[in-house]
Amino acid sequence: MKPIVDYRVYLVTDRALCLGRDLLDVVAAAVQGGVTLVQLREKHAGGREFVELGRALKDLLDPHRIPLLVNDRVDVAQAIGAAGVHVGQSDIPYADVRRILGPDAIIGLSVDTMEQALAAPDLDQVAGGAGIGPDYLGVGPIFPTATKLDAGEAWGLEKLTALRRQTHQTLVGIGGITVANAAAVMRAGADGVAVVSAIVSAPDPAAAARELLDAVEAARV
């Protein structure tokens, strides 16, 4: 059965930005603060290291019923029993990922442009004969960001709102999002905000996650 996912505060990990702290300690603190979804992003880890880290992270999250997604690596997601994966435009095509992981997996798709977003299959559409479309679209970067060096042109809030008017798909904003602008992203049409440095590079990840959740909730009232 597909888990119910809360996209409000979506943490994307990056060990290089953890200020020398252990990733598991940072994520544990973020969970205490209210993170609702975690994506394990490891661009340089070998397969064995990736799997071991993923299993440890899943063990940390499972008691809190927080789903773990894996960035790009469908094989790692399968090996550790993750809730699903997040893929980009240059990764394994979405339809193939859905065929591999099945209808109950949570699969997110990055969209860098309006054209990509509108071309993505909706949840109720068949994607290449593989079943339902993506569970959510990762829309970004919303604002300029230094975290992802290959990020394209920033969407901005007006463009996010324009997309919201044209799709009923779940939208998660990412890129340059902080506690200062998270509420604006939600009001522009996002269903949740995804952050990296706003939490993993914060002096107090628990407090940072709590402040983000408060900002998101204030925008939803």
User: Of the listed 41, 58, 73, 98, which one is catalytic?
Assistant: 41
Alpha-helical segments (H) within 110-181: 114-119, 156-166
Start-to-end CA span in the chain (Å): 30
Q: What's the average model confidence in pLDDT over 164-183?
A: 96
- Given a cut of 80, whether residue 125 has pLDDT beyond it is no
Active site residue 48: no
**Angstrom distances, CA of residue 62 to CA of 95, 123, 169:** 27, 26, 26
Q: What's the whole-model pTM score?
A: 0.93
Strand segments, DSSP code E, in 128-200 are 136-139, 171-174, 192-195
Active site residue 148: yes
* pLDDT of res. 130: 44
> pLDDT category, 150, cuts 50, 70, 90?
low
User: Of the listed 15, 110, 201, 210, which one is catalytic?
Assistant: 110
Return left, alpha or beta for 72; rule: phi > 0 is left, psi -120 to 50 is alpha, else beta: left
Q: What's the average model confidence in pLDDT over 160-170?
A: 95
Q: How far is the C-alpha of 169 from the C-alpha of 165, rounded, in Å?
A: 10
Q: What's the average model confidence in pLDDT over 113-137?
A: 75
43 annotated among ligand-binding-site residues: yes
Give the 3-state secondary structure percentages of the chain, helix then strand then coil, rounded to 5.
40, 15, 45
Burial class of 171 by CB neighbour count within 10 A (0 to 12, 13 to 18, 19+) = buried
Q: Residue 220 is inside which H or E element, if any?
A: helix 205-220
Each residue of 72-97: pLDDT tens digit?
Answer: 999 999 999 999 999 999 999 999 99
Number of helical H runs and strand E runs in the chain? 9, 8
Q: What's the average model confidence in pLDDT over 102-121?
A: 93
- Given a cut of 50, whether residue 60 has pLDDT beyond it is yes
- Tokens 């200020």 locate to 19
145 annotated among ligand-binding-site residues: yes
CATH code 3.20.20.70 for 9-219: yes
Q: What's the average model confidence in pLDDT over 175-199?
A: 97
> pLDDT category, 133, cuts 50, 70, 90?
confident
110 annotated among ligand-binding-site residues: yes
90 annotated among ligand-binding-site residues: no
> pLDDT category, 151, cuts 50, 70, 90?
low
Contact yes or no for 147/183 (Cβ under 8 A): no
More confident of the two residues 201 and 126: 201
Active site residue 2: no
41 annotated among ligand-binding-site residues: yes
Q: What's the average model confidence in pLDDT over 39-67?
A: 95
CA atoms within 13 A on the CB side of 115: 1
Q: Residue 39 is inside which H or E element, if any?
A: strand 37-40
User: Of the listed 99, 148, 164, 187, which one is catalytic?
Assistant: 148
SS3 category, 11: strand
